[in-house]
């Protein structure tokens, strides 16, 4: 074995030792972190869990907001979710077309709600 090959092997051993040490530090760091509690209470929500889980994230957020507000316009939902009204209007109409929620007109406003039939 040449001197250059020995130097490469020594360097690789040092890299391996450093990686083992780094992995150990990362494991310790992960163990000391408290898990984030992001539990969502589904009590009183008219949509069943299977339906909510089957929805893509953007529609689930809109559906959960309608569940919370009971009845709302696209502007109301947008204010609550922090998204633009046009996007919420589209998401709400997608939920209507899939039969998850219903809509009704009151004067010039369109209200979305979940029918509890």
pLDDT tens digit sequence for 46-66? 666 777 777 888 888 898 898
Q: How far, in Å, are 20, 22, 58, 77, 117 from residue 102 at the CA level?
A: 57, 54, 18, 14, 11
Which residue numbers in the chain have pLDDT < 50? Answer: 36-42
Domain covering 49-113 in this structure, CATH number: 1.10.10.10
The rounded distance, in Å, linking the Cα atoms of 12 and 20 is: 12
pTM: predicted TM-score of the whole model, two decimal places:
0.59
The rounded distance, in Å, linking the Cα atoms of 84 and 81 is: 9
């Amino acid at each position: 074995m040449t001197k250059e090959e020995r130097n490469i092997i020594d360097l690789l051993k040092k890299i391996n030792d450093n990686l083992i040490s780094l992995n150990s530090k990362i494991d310790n760091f992960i163990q000391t972190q408290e898990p984030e509690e992001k539990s969502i209470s589904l009590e009183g929500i008219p949509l069943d869990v299977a339906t909510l889980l089957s929805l893509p994230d953007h529609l689930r957020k809109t559906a959960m907001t309608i569940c919370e507000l009971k009845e709302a316009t696209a502007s109301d939902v947008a204010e609550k979710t922090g998204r633009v009204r046009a996007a919420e209007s589209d998401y709400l109409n997608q939920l209507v077309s899939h039969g998850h929620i219903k809509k009704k007109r009151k004067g010039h406003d369109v209200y979305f709600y979940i029918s509890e039939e």
